[in-house]
Amino acid sequence: MSCMSLAKELKELEAQGIDLLEILGKDRHLDSPEALQKIISALSCSDDNLYVELLFQLTWRRFPLEEAVRIWAAITEHKKELEKTLEREVGFRVAALDYLFSVEKILQGVRLVARAEFESILTFVNIDEVTGVHSRRYFNERLGEELGRARRYSHPLSMLIIDLDNFKQVNDRCGHVEGDSVLRKVGRMLMDTTRQADVVCRFGGDEFAVLLPETGSEDAGRTAERIRLAAADISIPGEDESGNVTLSIGCAAFPESCDEAEEMLAIADQMCLDVKRAGKNGVRIAPA
């Protein structure tokens, strides 16, 4: 079972004051075992896979399932030994770092970074430096998360693949500096014409993608058309109004036209390609 949405779910639990790493590490306790089991059952993966994600959040390394389960058990025992030796309580995070650094020596050159600074670094990593929208890496992560959530709660999810028409000619005629300026304007337009809950990314050189949570194909088609029309207000350097940006947009929707992330990407990309072949500057939605 996919755990791609688990990281965000754990963050949402933390916002509610429920830190599963501390709870499963025996640093804190809920009111009853039933309350803990209810929370775990609501997550988008099995109990064992939960250890994979918790260790990933702690170390930024993703261990294989069996290895993660073994390491978690070893850290738990190490925590007990530390508490016995020191004659005081030891937090699970402290025991985990001590075990992984001193006992198994899995982690080397550990450097402590406060959460706020770490999340700031992640934000920088996840943003495309040219356009200011999200990177493809971040988009791929969110696609897995949102698809897992859509599947679990029986909600729709749509994706747009957006290609700038004839953009190579812009770079060839105006240069890459002006080309990057056009890409930035398109990125800003996409952010302005989508919701805060939507995920906009630069998917390739002149290609963008938009993830639309809780959105079926009909509403996604309307969003795509709004984006296409807004692009007409973006001028290309050295051109008159007839030389403004045009877009070819393909759309795929879960569960109407696809079941998996890779299938959604492939179908949306194919719809975009169909628009290109049909003359560009249009929207095509995958049939159900």
Place of tokens 């296409």: 228
CATH number of the domain that residue 139 is part of? 3.30.70.270
Is residue 120 situated within a structural domain?
no
**What pLDDT, on the 0 to 100 scale, is given for residue 18?**
80
Is residue 118 situated within a structural domain?
no
**What pLDDT, on the 0 to 100 scale, is given for residue 112?**
55
Spatial distance between the Cα atoms of 89 and 79, rounded to a whole number of angstroms: 9
Q: Give 94-152 pLDDT, tens digit per residue.
A: 888 888 888 888 776 555 556 666 566 556 668 888 898 999 988 988 898 888 889 88
Q: What is the percentage of the chain residues whose pLDDT exceeds 90?
A: 43
Q: Integer distance in angstroms from the first to the last C-alpha of the chain?
A: 25
Residue 269 sits in the same domain as residue 174: yes
Residue 56 sits in the same domain as residue 159: no
Name the burial class of residue 113, with classes exposed (0-12), middle (13-18) and buried (19+) by CB atoms within 10 angstroms of its CB.
Answer: exposed
What range defines the domain where residue 173 resides? 130-285
Residue 19 sits in the same domain as residue 48: yes
Q: Is the pLDDT at 12 greater than 70, yes or no?
A: yes
Residue 154 sits in the same domain as residue 258: yes
Of 42-56, 58-72, 119-133, 192-206, highest mean pLDDT: 192-206
Catalytically active residues are: 206
Average per-residue pLDDT in the chain?
A: 85
Is residue 124 situated within a structural domain?
no
Asked if 91 and 27 count as a contact pair (C-beta separation under 8 A), the reply is yes
Is residue 123 situated within a structural domain?
no
- Picking from 112, 146, 163, the residue at the C-terminal end of a domain is 112
Interval 181-204 mean pLDDT: 93
Residue 14 sits in the same domain as residue 65: yes
Place of tokens 């994979």: 52
**What pLDDT, on the 0 to 100 scale, is given for residue 2?**
41
Residue 149 sits in the same domain as residue 259: yes
Place of tokens 């906009």: 200
- Picking from 48, 77, 112, the residue at the C-terminal end of a domain is 112
Structure tokens at 235: 């001028």
Q: How many residues does the chain have?
A: 288
Asked if 282 and 163 count as a contact pair (C-beta separation under 8 A), the reply is no
Q: Give 229-265 pLDDT, tens digit per residue.
A: 999 999 887 654 447 899 999 999 999 999 999 999 9
Q: Is the pLDDT at 16 greater than 50, yes or no?
A: yes
Place of tokens 């639309």: 212
Is residue 155 situated within a structural domain?
yes
* Count of domains observed in the chain: 2
Residue 144 sits in the same domain as residue 247: yes
Residue 141 sits in the same domain as residue 255: yes
**What pLDDT, on the 0 to 100 scale, is given for residue 123?**
61
- Picking from 49, 84, 112, the residue at the C-terminal end of a domain is 112
Interval 175-194 mean pLDDT: 91
Residue 256 sits in the same domain as residue 162: yes
Is residue 17 situated within a structural domain?
yes
Structure tokens at 148: 């897992």
**What pLDDT, on the 0 to 100 scale, is given for residue 283?**
98
Is residue 119 situated within a structural domain?
no
The C-alpha angle with vertex 28 and arms to 25 and 32, in degrees rounded to 5, equals 105
Residue 272 sits in the same domain as residue 217: yes
**What pLDDT, on the 0 to 100 scale, is given for residue 1?**
38
**What pLDDT, on the 0 to 100 scale, is given for residue 73?**
92
* Count of H-run helices and E-run strands, the chain: 12, 5
Collapsing DSSP states into helix, strand and coil, what is residue 203? coil
Residue 176 sits in the same domain as residue 60: no
Residue 105 sits in the same domain as residue 180: no
**Which stretch of DSSP H or E encloses residue 247?**
strand 247-254
Is residue 270 situated within a structural domain?
yes
**What pLDDT, on the 0 to 100 scale, is given for residue 4?**
42
